[in-house]
Structure 1
């Protein structure tokens, strides 16, 4: 009886040791230097692997695979995101776009679409150190930009405006160049809330500008996923509520509201 018990303990210990080795191997593989965990539509990664090994049964096309971390190739994040945004805007005067920015698929596209559009307009991550959410709806988009920048080997912080006390929440921005971000920035006469900044003479952004300057940072521009600002020049004049002085800032939008509604 004693020998049987000892054999059982030895077998249990051996199994535990095997599991530990397997776990260690798995951990070692997942933390390989320079490797990204591939992401994409459910089942797409398996399809790509099957296609590469010649065992693909055609159930899932490899073309559906989206690898946000791959160094080779390029995917059109803006093009893939556009039909989602169009559907969200359909028959709606306004949306916080949270159904997209908190979606497992659209969120990654948003981060890369914003970075791509900024770069197309001559403003790369190297030109700013942090992105600040002007509204609560913009916060998940700012975080998406942080992750997208990280996948490109760039360091980018995020922060948000404190809507109760005039300050910011997040890492210090003292001495940094920052980009301000909103989910939807419009000049239409919506009531200003924590989900939307309306632009009438630039006054609504004046307080945010003064807070950023008080924190010792410099704003390089204003961006939005959807822009409803009707302008011939891509700039926004921000008026200070303190002394009435104004500052012209470049405005960059990924999607034009009117074009999406056409």
Structure 2
């Protein structure tokens, strides 16, 4: 019977004697969970990403960003990585999803910042009007996010974004500029831009103008293979 003073409990207690995989081999889920919990958060995220990208030339990492373990740490790790690169949470006002794959990252960063007593908004770039979905970014400093940005990820879930020649990001930048926002950098869980100080060349397909933006990657693709 459910406790009338609280939420109904869901799920069942973990089996003390473990479970069995498809091949019939015994596995101790509790031991695996304990081993994972003993890792540093960055190593936890690395292990989840390596498992998700195994055998795949490219994926959107949904198996990580929607996993309860990944979702609980990825926002903090992105904030920490940005700070290591000189972008404290006080230095930007909002984070924006370049693609649908980055939407859970935006939510995770908002929650992580809130847990630190910081106000951070989010938004999604889209080709369907209105092009910016979320609180107004007029006059705001923003960081643009993606899950995996490398030469393999040129086919994206947003028609606004194409990465070519390794580090040329063709982005309808007028969408952001029209809102009066200042883009400080682009960040991604996995990056594949082979530079000592990675940058993304942003090309405005409307007028052909181009400039470089700092590229902040949590993990470099070659370090995960």
TM-score normalized by the length of structure 2: 0.78
Write 1 or 2 for the structure with the bigger share of helix: 1
Distance apart, 1:62 and its partner CA? 8.8
Distance apart, 1:163 and its partner CA? 2.8
Kindly indicate whether the alpha-carbon contact (under 8 Å) linking 2:75 and 2:109 is maintained by their aligned counterparts in 1: yes
Alignment RMSD: 2.9
Larger radius of gyration: 1
Secondary structure of the residue aligned to 2:187 is strand
Distance apart, 1:100 and its partner CA? 1.0
Write 1 or 2 for the structure with the bigger share of strand: 2
Q: Does 1:108 align with 2:72?
A: yes
Return closer, same or farther for 1:205/1:171 CA change in 2, 3 Å cut-off. Answer: farther
Partner of residue 186, structure 1: 150
Kindly indicate whether the alpha-carbon contact (under 8 Å) linking 1:138 and 1:183 is maintained by their aligned counterparts in 2: yes
Secondary structure of the residue aligned to 2:117 is coil
- Taking the aligned partners of 1:197 and 1:164, their CA distance within structure 2 comes to 14
Kindly indicate whether the alpha-carbon contact (under 8 Å) linking 1:223 and 1:253 is maintained by their aligned counterparts in 2: yes
Please list the CA deviations of residues 182-232 of structure 1 after superposition, one character each: whole Å capped at 9, or x if unmatched: 01111237434339954226664430x211110111101000011122223
Secondary structure of the residue aligned to 1:216 is coil
Kindly report structure 1 stretches of 4+ aligned residues shifted beyond 6 Å. Answer: 59-66
Distance apart, 1:79 and its partner CA? 1.9
Secondary structure of the residue aligned to 1:174 is coil
Distance apart, 1:240 and its partner CA? 1.6
Return closer, same or farther for 1:245/1:198 CA change in 2, 3 Å cut-off. Answer: closer
Q: Does 1:214 align with 2:178?
A: yes
Kindly indicate whether the alpha-carbon contact (under 8 Å) linking 2:160 and 2:171 is maintained by their aligned counterparts in 1: no
TM-score normalized by the length of structure 1: 0.68
The correspondence of residues 62-211 of structure 1 with structure 2, limited to 5 A, is: 76-165=40-129, 167-188=131-152, 190-194=154-158, 197-200=161-164, 204-207=169-172, 209-211=173-175
- Taking the aligned partners of 1:232 and 1:64, their CA distance within structure 2 comes to 31
Gaps of 5+ in 2: 7-12, 15-29
Please list the CA deviations of residues 124-144 of structure 1 after superposition, one character each: whole Å capped at 9, or x if unmatched: 111110000000010011100
Please list the CA deviations of residues 152-205 of structure 1 after superposition, one character each: whole Å capped at 9, or x if unmatched: 111101100123236110111111000000011112374343399542266644
Q: Does 1:225 align with 2:184?
A: no
Number of equivalences = 200
Return closer, same or farther for 1:120/1:148 CA change in 2, 3 Å cut-off. Answer: same
Gaps of 5+ in 1: 1-18, 27-41, 44-58, 67-74
Return closer, same or farther for 1:161/1:256 CA change in 2, 3 Å cut-off. Answer: same
